[in-house]
Structure 1
Amino acid sequence: MLKRMRSFLVAAMLMVIATVSAQVTTSSMSGKVTAQDEPIIGATVVAIHEPSGTRYGTVTNISGQFNLQGMRTGGPYKVEVSYVGYQTAIYKGVNLSLGEVYTLNVVLKESSELLDEVIVTAQKTVEKMGTVTNVSERQLTTLPTINRSITDFTKLSPYAGGSNSFAGRDGRYNTITVDGAALNNNFGLSTNNLPGGDAQPISLDAIDEISVNVSPYSVTYSNFTGASINAVTKSGTNELKGTVYTYQKPKNFIGKSINDVDVPNVESYKSSLYGFTLGAPIIKNKLFFFVNGELENSTSPGILWTPSQEEVGSGDNQNHISRTWIKDLKTISDFVKDKYGYDPGSYDKFDDFESKNWKLMARLDWNINKSHKLSLRFNTVKSENDASISSTSSVITKANSNRYGVDAFAFGNSNYGFRNIVTSLSGELNSNFSSSVQNKLLVTYTHIRDSRTTKGDAFPMVDIYKDGKQYMTLGTELFTPFNDVENNVFSVTDNVTINKGNHLITAGATFERQYFMNSYLRAPYGYYRYASIKDFMTGEKPMLYGITYGYNGKDAPGAELTFGMLGAYAQDEYSITPNLKLTYGLRFDLPLYFDDLLGNAAIKEQSFNGTNVDVSEWPKSKLLISPRLGFNWDIKGDRSIVLTGGTGLFTGLLPFVWFTNQPTNAGQMQNMVEFETSELPANFAFNPNYKETLTQNPDMFPSTPGNEVPGAIAYVDPNFKMPQVWRSNVNAEFQLPYGFMLSVGAMYTRDIYNVVQKNMNEKAPSGTYNEQPGRVYWTKNNYYDNPKTKTVIQLTNGDEKGYQYSFNAVLTKKFDFGFTGSFGYTYTMAKDMTANPGSSAASVWQNNVAVNSLNDPGVSYSLFSTPHRLIANASYEVAYANMKTTVSLFYTGYQQGRFSYTYSNDMNGDGNYSDLMYVPASKEEMTFVDIKDKQNNVTYSAVDQQEDFWNYVNNDSYLNDHKGQYVERASSLEPWIHRFDMKIAQDFYAKIGSRKYGIQVSLDMLNIGNLLNSKWGAYRSCGLQSYDNVRLLKTASKVGEPLTYQMNASSREVFQKNSKWDYTASTGSAWQMQLGVKFTF
């Protein structure tokens, strides 16, 4: 009944009023026409987009105000303002920025016999109220880039940070649109904001302009709490124009060493791209088309790590040599080939990884008549690329080190591939019903399909340990079989604006429908973890066995979710004076869930720490209200000092994989189970046929749903609300002497509703350590409250609220002789409860770090905070004879990221490697024990360990300041990095007949400082680092016993080497170049 009511509500709203998009696709112009200090009523305003002849017209209202909506971005425009008895004012060279209002205040003079028109060179006067960065077509073509991605240019925003984050927020909370159509990684399996896998979903040569909005106070913006990134594509004009281009990066276009250490397999890196564009009129001034196509291929080394040629105690992080002995790899390879007929793949020489994609875009623009203009756009991309095995994940309990690294090595057929398809369509109709009423109708559809390809034959995944640590991996990658994700996004938009006196009123409603299908099973062929090579080869029971299988014999059951966001809004832009504009409005958003879920009575009957779970319901649809207020004040009336800002609430979305985790882990579609040795039958043995394992053990693996509690459960809190933040900012722009402009700003954001994930089945701790204040522990195998299952992860809103604040200053100058430059600094402080590091429910919870329970991590430093960031941009352009030379330089300097100090083992016994380190108050407070080799020889004495650890603490500023305390999550900072990127473009022109032809040769260079010194611009990493954690030591004692410690190294020499922040010999650190050749006509 509820589902039918929701459907009726949506249909009714669509019939009454179409919906309004939060994203921008066009520009606008507004202003006031006066004469002798009085408003002119009925003056004619006509703006002509000169390249296409497209005309936009209106007349001024009773207050002399005019407003033009739905205008093409860019230009140049010619604007004519006329009225009987007055000279016609003509403004030339007007260029419009995406999503911004160009202000044109006109003073008409009485006409005379000698002069009936006045031509004026337009000055750029743009009104903005929030924090926006616009990237023009010129910047897109002159700034250095090799990836040719939209995200290569969003870094120009002073609020940009690492991992696509803005203002200290998780990059997954951004939204990206192209021509108003959502082009997001909505499902959220990676941190990349864009869909399409390794490929860019749309060509850079098809993009006309990009805008990055962090705090837009128009209520038409929604679906983000990070940044709203919008791009518009190019259009055809009255002139036939086209390009044919190629970009090449041969194998010698990349640095070969970092700090005298060779970059592994650098000769494997190469890429080539071929493309074209074509735009022309079909009917001059009326109908235009634009098309773009690209084909790209690239290769890269598959695996950087190599096995050790001799039996060693530890690997070499700097030279990417694993401790895994090549002889052991050969032994296992021969064994599984002979016994099971399975080829695990290469272990001494890997093929290069390949990536290939093609893309096509087509756009049609139709000036139907003077009142209606239509644009249609189609875009598609298909890509395939290879990838390496998951690092530490298993079914539930993670491995204790990476599968490729200093400790471990994996066979080649344990790697996998991606296949991605993205198709996007948009149609936009802009209508001018009268001089005061304008309308924008936008319909969009995006289809995204992500799947995987396997290497080799089907085989269970096997991890083999040595000396208690990960050592070797073989078999089919855990998450690849039957892995398939589909996301369809449909939206209809209609934006109505009414110009009435000094008020520009906007009102409307919004609706977006997203469909998701997720087929995802963790280890569907089975997962085995063995304590040693011997145990695996002799058929001993594994340390751990896990599998996820579909009920009723289904190999690939798919979880489905249909989500809608319904909203309504109204706002008023009030021009209090020609120099002061105030925008105030109110937005309402209502999440809707259209799919019915199957319940599981077996789950509902259980109690998890007193909490009952019903997996048959989505969260309640709860209304979210977003009031906003913004202002733009030209203090002196001459744009010399402009103050902008505002305050308001913003409602966003989240990675929807966190929602589909519920039906996937509800025990109705599939069952995920994991067993330790003691839980396995005495006769349980390795079997390469997972179906036989299932049928031979029916008690362990029930085949029908609803009768058993699954091995892991995930669900969304019935009272969950979509993420929402309160954000405020103020910004001042100063026109300084000699043409300099200074912009200074501040922003503050606070969570209203944040997103956290908790394990509702975590048992109360067993006790408290005496040696560390307040540190609790769980005795082994005693950390689940209800033994019928393991993790019961609830997606909910956190009790504590994170916050972010930023300060920035940007100085820019444009010189008359072709030089443009800018320099900016941003300080950001961000704190949150969790980075939600992962996609599956269990991994998101497990990958966090805390002193005690991961259910209560507290508010601490955010991994998305880049405390200090410097950016600079310089460009010089000179034209001479039939040539033009353009040189652009981009600099960025920042701290690489944040990390936490954690133990390298599960010191508190909660089943996770997630324990923040305690810093002793004195050297003697911690008791170390000797580290010995297999022959019982001491390789690292307790005395040396204690001394080395204490020296490390004293030399680390954060640890030294926090003696006698626990470290905070993400409290430490990685080293600074400074990088310079450059692009040089040389254009040659020739005129043949009436047409102008050109050839451009360009060279994009990333990290050019590295060309001069192999250390410059190189990333640095610590040999004891695992993702966002640095692990100096581990506990040597059993859980619950008096604490003793050992360093995370086999000897003093190894610790001293691995504890340093050494330069990383990788392609990301090395300089890179790309050669481009483009023919234009």
Structure 2
Amino acid sequence: MFPQVIINDNGNTYTFGTNNAARGNRVDQKIFQIQNDVTINLGKHKISTGISYQLIDLLNEFTFNPQGTFIFNSLPSFYNSSPIGTITPLGVSSGSGLPTAYSLGYTLQPGRTVTLDKAKFVQFGVYMQDEFFPTEKLKITAGVRADVTAFLTNPQNNPAVPGYNFQNAIGELEKYNTTNTPRTTVLISPRVGFNWDIKGDRTLQLRGGSGIFSGNIPFVYIKTGFINGLNEGAINAPTAAQAAAYPFNPDPRAYIPTDGKMAANYELNFIAPNFKLPQTFRSTLGLDAKLPGNIIASIEAVYSSDINAPYYRNANLNYNTSTTSPDGRLKYTSARINPNITGAYVLDNISKGSQFFLTESISKQFSKDFAVSLSYTYGESKDVYPLRSTIASGAFNAIQVVGNPNVPVKNYSDYDLRHRIVGSLNYRISYAKDKMASSIGIFFEGAQQGRGTYAYGGTGNVNQDGSNANDLIFVPQNQSQINLVASSTATVEQQWDALDRFISNSKYLKNRRGQFAERNGILLPWYYQADIKFSQDFSGLLLKNKNTLQVTVDIINFTNLINKNWGVYNTIANTTPITALSATTFQVNPVLLQRGEFIQDNGLNSRYRIQVGVRYSFN
């Protein structure tokens, strides 16, 4: 194993070494389930009821960043971290290079490289549904479900924790202990739906429904509550002054304490006393029509909103020491309430996310062997807290914010769809007395590629909350609104000219001058791609019965096979266009900004692929 190294050099970022979430990561679940369903027909009512019981035994081996991560602010500083006299690509090392940040997580469990946690819980559900047919044309379905989750394992008690003071998002006092798990509460999920065959001949049908649906949060998030200072320690040196105590060492174990004692500095993970498992309200309304020419047309609207969605906040952030920075964002003057606690992450609930989708589709079955379809979907998804990591600290620090990271802000979701067009064509022909058949299928998709965010690069930690990667950029109206510092390759004037031009040429940023960028504020360009599938069937060739040998050829991104410039995805050229050297000083790289806002993504999705398959079916 080798530490992870991140080098920020003049707008470029170089990353190598062991991924900080890869070492020894294992999740194992054993599930015992009993379920019994009963259906009773009572005249116009079809009643279904049942119970479900699950016993889940969860085992998780994981420690985040067990090999350590070094961050350097330039290539020379990294090369000069080598022993004095070492020959490097930039010359002979002076031995004086130091990281500007260092972090490490380590287990306190003897004989292990990562922490092992076990948890056991039960889920019990009772449900009932009634399908009611008041007329031959109308079916109404109504039901209700009740779910209970009980945790049979509690985290260890850390006796030091009740003596610590913590805060909520606005600085009010909170107290915690490390033994909390979610309370055993009953989640009620009612729902009702209908299907109305308006003419009675299935040529015009109106359908819809509304309800509350309960879902399982991945229980690895609950498992984070077992990180309590007794089983893991952490080193977090986010500033150059602190990181100077940890010069680069290629040995991942170099800074792990060897005395086996409880760590002086550690992370805590709590579960809010009133935390509930997530639910979603969803409502749908659709109309299906059979048009002349055997054409089927549909339109459907779906609206969803979050109930008790999970999110993390850091109860060790000292809101009462916050102030306002020159650009107007909240900034901490002393981030940690308890200096030895690297973070106290609370799993809590919030109910602000929403999603809306409208889909229109049309299809025609010309014959049993020939069909086409076309659909268009408009979508808008917003959330306040996408869980981008199963690690509490990772999930918290991955949310780009302005100022207070404990106050989630509703913005576009990572999965905001916006516009999507999908078409398909399928044709099959049989011959040789049905012993052979050839098929072709074409699938086309055109859609906007998603969203992106502009945040500061570097280790400036602009809001001084201890995280270098979560600060949304301020988009300057003019040069007086950004404190640029000359670099070895560009003067302040050259940097401003490049940044001003970049902002003016960005459809998004030019409308945000004098304001902060938003999380997922950038809408990526459209992409277009077609896939083709050929299949050839040979039936009854080996035996008298109709066994079938099928050979298939899939050409994924056939558009790129035709033309290398087609079927290509675009990505944001630089999601960190401004480098924060400190909380108030910045640099940009004019060469990188000259590339523009979007560049071609040369990954696998932008390349054609051919897959050949053979299948033999016994009939």
TM-score of the two chains, using structure 1 as the length reference:
0.52
Give 1:466 shift.
Answer: 6.7
- Of the structure 1 ranges 709-718 and 868-877, higher mean CA displacement relative to structure 2 is found in 709-718
Per-residue CA shift, 1:686-727, capped at 9, x if unaligned?
Answer: 5848389523xx4xxxx245xx66511112112111111111
2:140 to 582, 596, 602: 582
> Hey, what does 2:401 align to over in structure 1?
850
> Hey, what does 1:806 align to over in structure 2?
357
Give 1:989 shift.
Answer: 3.2
> Hey, what does 1:1033 align to over in structure 2?
578
CA contact (8 A) 1:730 1:745 kept: yes
What letter matches 2:214 in structure 1? T
Per-residue CA shift, 1:875-911, capped at 9, x if unaligned?
Answer: 0111122321111011111111101122223322222
CA contact (8 A) 1:608 1:761 kept: yes
For residue 588 of structure 1, give the secondary structure of its aligned residue in structure 2. Answer: strand
Structure number with bigger Rg: 1
Cα distance in structure 2, aligned partners of 1:822 and 1:715: 50
Cα distance in structure 1, aligned partners of 2:193 and 2:407: 37
> Hey, what does 1:461 align to over in structure 2?
3
For residue 342 of structure 2, give the secondary structure of its aligned residue in structure 1. Answer: coil
Change (3 A) 1:597 1:907: closer
For residue 806 of structure 1, give the secondary structure of its aligned residue in structure 2. Answer: strand
> Hey, what does 2:220 align to over in structure 1?
657
1:502 aligns with 2:44: yes
For residue 134 of structure 2, give the secondary structure of its aligned residue in structure 1. Answer: strand
1:816 aligns with 2:367: yes
Change (3 A) 1:1054 1:1032: closer
1:879 to 415, 420, 430: 430
Change (3 A) 1:647 1:662: same
Change (3 A) 1:916 1:554: closer
CA contact (8 A) 2:67 2:104 kept: no
> Hey, what does 1:1003 align to over in structure 2?
553
Percent identity (aligned) = 28
1:565 aligns with 2:117: no
What letter matches 1:793 in structure 2? Y
Give 1:931 shift.
Answer: 3.5
1:720 aligns with 2:261: no
Cα distance in structure 2, aligned partners of 1:852 and 1:1020: 30
For residue 80 of structure 2, give the secondary structure of its aligned residue in structure 1. Answer: helix
- Of the structure 1 ranges 846-855 and 994-1003, higher mean CA displacement relative to structure 2 is found in 994-1003
CA contact (8 A) 1:728 1:747 kept: yes
For residue 755 of structure 1, give the secondary structure of its aligned residue in structure 2. Answer: strand
Per-residue CA shift, 1:232-254, capped at 9, x if unaligned?
Answer: xxxxxxxxxxxxxxxxxxxxxxx
1:838 aligns with 2:394: no
> Hey, what does 1:741 align to over in structure 2?
296
Give 1:500 shift.
Answer: 0.7
TM-score of the two chains, using structure 2 as the length reference:
0.88
Q: How many residues align?
A: 590
Per-residue CA shift, 1:1022-1041, capped at 9, x if unaligned?
Answer: 331xxxxx2222345x43xx
Cα distance in structure 2, aligned partners of 1:742 and 1:838: 40
Cα distance in structure 1, aligned partners of 2:287 and 2:317: 50
Per-residue CA shift, 1:377-397, capped at 9, x if unaligned?
Answer: xxxxxxxxxxxxxxxxxxxxx
Cα distance in structure 2, aligned partners of 1:974 and 1:681: 40
Gaps in structure 2 of 5+ consecutive residues = 85-94, 168-172
Cα distance in structure 1, aligned partners of 2:53 and 2:548: 46
CA contact (8 A) 2:324 2:330 kept: yes
What letter matches 1:752 in structure 2? I
Structure-to-structure mapping, 1:475-514, within 5 angstroms: 477-514=19-56
Change (3 A) 1:587 1:684: same
CA contact (8 A) 1:1020 1:1061 kept: yes
Structure-to-structure mapping, 1:1045-1060, within 5 angstroms: 1045-1047=586-588, 1049=589, 1052-1057=590-595, 1059-1060=596-597
Per-residue CA shift, 1:11-33, capped at 9, x if unaligned?
Answer: xxxxxxxxxxxxxxxxxxxxxxx
1:888 aligns with 2:427: no
> Hey, what does 2:455 align to over in structure 1?
902
What letter matches 2:127 in structure 1? Y
> Hey, what does 1:369 align to over in structure 2?
none
Cα distance in structure 1, aligned partners of 2:268 and 2:102: 19
CA contact (8 A) 1:463 1:470 kept: no
Change (3 A) 1:468 1:1003: closer
For residue 385 of structure 2, give the secondary structure of its aligned residue in structure 1. Answer: coil
Give 1:784 shift.
Answer: 1.2
> Hey, what does 1:775 align to over in structure 2?
329
CA-atom RMSD, angstroms? 2.8
> Hey, what does 1:973 align to over in structure 2?
523
For residue 532 of structure 1, give the secondary structure of its aligned residue in structure 2. Answer: helix
> Hey, what does 1:90 align to over in structure 2?
none
Cα distance in structure 2, aligned partners of 1:475 and 1:1045: 27
> Hey, what does 1:522 align to over in structure 2?
64
Gaps in structure 1 of 5+ consecutive residues = 1-458, 934-938, 1025-1029
> Hey, what does 1:269 align to over in structure 2?
none
For residue 415 of structure 2, give the secondary structure of its aligned residue in structure 1. Answer: coil
Cα distance in structure 1, aligned partners of 2:215 and 2:397: 25
Cα distance in structure 2, aligned partners of 1:1045 and 1:682: 25
1:750 aligns with 2:305: yes
Change (3 A) 1:523 1:953: closer
What letter matches 1:574 in structure 2? F
1:613 to 164, 170, 176: 176
CA contact (8 A) 1:460 1:528 kept: no
Structure-to-structure mapping, 1:687-702, within 5 angstroms: 688=251, 690=253, 694-695=257-258, 698=259
CA contact (8 A) 1:465 1:533 kept: no
Give 1:739 shift.
Answer: 0.1
1:759 aligns with 2:314: yes
Structure-to-structure mapping, 1:50-199, within 5 angstroms: none
Per-residue CA shift, 1:646-692, capped at 9, x if unaligned?
Answer: 100001112222111111x2122232333467568979995848389
1:919 aligns with 2:461: no
What letter matches 2:493 in structure 1? V
Per-residue CA shift, 1:436-473, capped at 9, x if unaligned?
Answer: xxxxxxxxxxxxxxxxxxxxxxx552537475889777
Change (3 A) 1:918 1:598: same
Cα distance in structure 2, aligned partners of 1:903 and 1:581: 55
Per-residue CA shift, 1:799-828, capped at 9, x if unaligned?
Answer: x51111111111011012721011111111
Give 1:1066 shift.
Answer: 2.6
What letter matches 1:1077 in structure 2? V
What letter matches 1:1073 in structure 2? I
1:668 aligns with 2:230: yes
> Hey, what does 1:792 align to over in structure 2?
344
For residue 293 of structure 2, give the secondary structure of its aligned residue in structure 1. Answer: helix
> Hey, what does 1:351 align to over in structure 2?
none
Cα distance in structure 1, aligned partners of 2:243 and 2:555: 57
CA contact (8 A) 1:460 1:690 kept: no
1:1072 aligns with 2:609: yes
What letter matches 2:564 in structure 1? S
What letter matches 2:400 in structure 1? V
For residue 175 of structure 2, give the secondary structure of its aligned residue in structure 1. Answer: coil
CA contact (8 A) 1:803 1:832 kept: yes
Cα distance in structure 2, aligned partners of 1:916 and 1:928: 16
For residue 81 of structure 2, give the secondary structure of its aligned residue in structure 1. Answer: helix
For residue 601 of structure 1, give the secondary structure of its aligned residue in structure 2. Answer: coil
> Hey, what does 1:448 align to over in structure 2?
none
> Hey, what does 1:349 align to over in structure 2?
none
Change (3 A) 1:629 1:596: same
What letter matches 1:583 in structure 2? T
CA contact (8 A) 1:729 1:745 kept: yes
Structure-to-structure mapping, 1:207-218, within 5 angstroms: none
1:982 aligns with 2:545: no
Change (3 A) 1:494 1:828: same
Change (3 A) 1:687 1:859: closer
Change (3 A) 1:734 1:527: closer
CA contact (8 A) 1:464 1:470 kept: no
For residue 834 of structure 1, give the secondary structure of its aligned residue in structure 2. Answer: coil
